[in-house]
Amino acid sequence: MTPVGPPPLLALSPGNLLPGGERGAASAFAEAARSALGAGLRGILLREPALPDGELLALARRLAGLLDVSGGWLGVHDRVHLASACGAHGVHVGFRSLPVPDARRVVGDAVALGFSSHAGDAPEAWGDADYVFHGPVHDTPSKAGRLAPVGVAELADFVAGAPPVWALGGIGVEDCEPVLRTGARGVAVLGGIFGSQDPARQAARYVAAVDTATGGAA
């Protein structure tokens, strides 16, 4: 079975959900996701390092139910062993995760396997990943002082020699068209949607921008 990769617009979860007494935050995020999906979003990557497996699995299953209704795509970050249990379409790994070949042995060929790449990474780093993130394209708080922005020109060079690429890092609504003109398959957004005060409104704006750039494939 050929794995299904992310849609052209992929929203990352906020990354700051806490376990135990903060379960209300997970429910609030699920409701934010529901509103964004109602505005046209079709892809979510669940990346919550502080949540223990049980809580993350419960949240992933809740999101999977919401995404099934809209024909959407769910990915989980790092938790390779939970992909099957939550019905995820994809698993995303980085340099702190299992290496790509080992992750592939766990998830098999039916689940899309993604890898987070940065400037200077050798192709061996992503191996037989089905898609990669590349960035940060622009300045972004999560990478400040650690990784310099690659810019649109360097992104275009990377896209030419890599698997399907989703650009990541500081990508605003107005950046979608120039980023996608590089040949990138899509954009991955964190703060722009689920870091905003109005995820539904922002999701609608991003969907419109990506639709314009891709001919309606967001």
Residues with Cβ within 8 Å of 135's Cβ and at least 6 positions away in sequence, in order, are: 118, 143, 149, 150, 155, 167, 168, 169, 170
Residue 123 has phi, psi (to 5 degrees) of -55, -30
**Looking at the predicted structure, is the pLDDT value of residue 22 above 60?**
no
Distance CA(25)–CA(42), nearest Å, equals 22
Name the domain count of the chain: 1
Q: Is residue 218 in a domain?
A: no
Q: What is the pLDDT of residues 73-107, one digit of tens each?
A: 999 999 999 999 999 999 999 988 999 999 999 99
User: Which of residues 197 and 22 earns the better pLDDT score?
Assistant: 197
Q: Is residue 4 in a domain?
A: no
90-93 and 131-134 beta bridge pairing? unpaired
DSSP class of residue 110 equals S
Question: Would you say 43 and 72 are in contact if contact means Cβ atoms under 8 Å apart?
Answer: yes
Distance CA(142)–CA(121), nearest Å, equals 19
Model confidence band, residue 144 (pLDDT cutoffs 50, 70, 90): low
Encoding tokens for residue 209? 């921008």
Q: Is residue 16 in a domain?
A: yes
Here the CATH number for the domain that contains residue 67 is 3.20.20.70
